Structures are given as C-alpha cells and as structure tokens.
Amino acid sequence: MFSATIEDFPLARAFTISRGSRTHARVVVARLARDGAEGRGECVPYPRYGETPEAVAAAIAALPPDATRAALPHLLPPGAARNAADCALWDWEARRTGRRVWDLAGLPPPRPVPTAFTLSLDEPAAMEARAREEGHRPLLKVKLGTPDDLPRLEAVRRGAPTPRLIVDANEGWREADYRALLPHLERLRVALVEQPFPEGEDGALARLPRPVPVCADESCRTRESLPALAGLYDAVNVKLDKAGGLTEALALADAARRQGLSLMVGCMVATSLAVAPAVLLAQGAAIADLDGPLLLAQDRAHGLRCDDAGLHPPEPALWG
C-alpha cells in the first residue's frame, strides 16, 4: 500500500527567487510497501501549480495498493504527487528484483554529472560576495526576475569571473526588461536564459532575438507542452515534479531532443532522495541543475555524493 509523510529540512541559508523566499525545504515522501519490499520517492509540492503538501500527501495515500507506473497517468495528473508515487514504484521494483533502476529502464550505467549551483536573488553586494564564495564551481545559476537585474548580474560576474553563468528570471521579466538586458547578457558571458516571461506570454520570443539560448521551465511540464514551444525556445528544463515522475520525464526528454531542443535537467530545493532519479535523467543533458541537496543545512542519510567529478549516482541505500 501507499503512504505519505511531510518532512521539513532547514536550508543552509534563505533561498529567494522572484516569487518569494524560504528557509526550509518542505517535501513529501511517498512509500510503497508491497510483496515484502518497500520503495520511496520524494517530491516538492509547488504553489506555482496550486499544490500543497497536505493535498499531495493525501493524493498519494489514496492510490490503489496495486497501482502500477503504467496506471499512474490515469490516476494522478502531472505534478508532485505523481512524481513521488512514480519514483517510489521504480525504487520498489529495484528492491524487489535486486536490479538498479537504470537497468530496469534500459539505460546505461550512470556517471557523475557536473551540476550548476544556484545564487538566490539578493542585493548586488550580497550576490557578489556569494559569487566570490562559490566562484570555484564550473557553473553558477543566478536568480533574477526584477526590473533592476543588471547591477545584480554585473556583481555576480565581478565576484566570479570564471564560471559559466545561467540566469533564471522565474517568469519575472517583461519584453522591455529582456531587450534592455540582451547586450549585457552577451557581454557578461551568460550561457543560457531560463524562463524570462510568464507562461502564456512567451509568444514574444518569436519576434525577439535569441543570441543567448532561451530555456523553457514553467512553460514545459510534459510532452503535451512541446508543440507550443516550437520557434520560441532553444531548450527545455525537465523536472520530475513538473512531469510527474521519472517515467514521463524520460519520455519528455526523448521527445524534446527529437524536436531539436537542448536538454536541461533541474530540480526543486529538496533532499537527495528527490534528486537521485534526476541524476539518471541528466545523463547526456546539456546542463544539469541538481543542487537541491547542496542548499540544505543537512541532507538525509545516504545522500548523494558531490565532488569535482560532479553529482554521483545514488547508492542503493538511498534509492533505486
């Protein structure tokens, strides 16, 4: 049967984006106990999509005891609840059969993936200081999304002259903001712009230059999102919590590649249990943004190992 619990993990420091700030990661853990084996999956309910931890936990607990991965799309919509249940089913099958998830999925054995590290939205001086602390990393993701982002971006580049930069506006810009920042994005060597405009207003990208590749995040949830993105975006950010689990995320990634879109694999601020399946998804992706566990004050037991090679695949004691 399925069960679910709500858990809180303090962050190492406050995490701020254009929509607000948080000091804890509140996650929902799905558990499936069946045939002498137990599987786990973790999700982060996303207020942006009207999700709450309580509603997500209730939806997981209400699943039929014999639910399968193939049945989940008929039982739950794309989102956090389906993600946790899907990942719990993958983990359960791996433990029941003694095989790793990548083997069950027909994937090659995973390797460590270099990950971006996120600098949350703050005043320019604070962002510069934080960039200087993290400037040894190969890739930094800069949270923006205000009408006054140029001083912030310049401050980050002063603090971290070497790393590649991604900027994420979290739907916070308007066309005038994008046009004003465009020459500076090139000057400051930004590698990717993520979701500059609100979902539904990104048609403006059809008439705007994109010398720096633009990546859809909130505008891309499942395979059904892809047709509307043609001609607007150069890449998509695939997240398990948006797609509804590893099963749909793998299919979405394949479909995006066939459409000629570059692939970014992201995560919410969560523990290693949530990010472990995304490490499999990120194999071969152009960009991995899987730093959720790195932003916590303390991760859960058997957390993902991160070193100069990148974020390592999960140990069986954690997931899969």
Enzyme catalytic residues: 143, 239
Cross-strand pairs, 214: 193
Q: What is the residue type of 73?
A: P
Residue 114 DSSP SS3: coil
Identify whether the C-beta of residue 277 lies closer than 8 Å to the C-beta of residue 246.
Answer: yes
Three-state SS string over 64-104 comes to CCCCCCCCHHHHCCCCHHHHHHHHHHHHHHHHHHCCCHHHH
Extract the tokens encoding 285.
């992706």
Extract the tokens encoding 179.
């046009």
Question: Which of 240, 243, 274 is closest to 29 using CA atoms?
Answer: 274
**Sequence-ordered list of residues with C-beta below 8 angstroms from that of 81, at least 6 positions apart, any chain:** 28, 30, 43, 45, 51, 55, 56, 59, 60
The length of the chain, given as a count of residues: 320
Q: Within a 13 Å sphere around the CA of 198, how many CA atoms are in the beta-carbon half?
A: 7
Q: How many CB atoms lie within 10 A of CB 47?
A: 9
Question: Which of 285, 277, 283 is closest to 314 using CA atoms?
Answer: 277
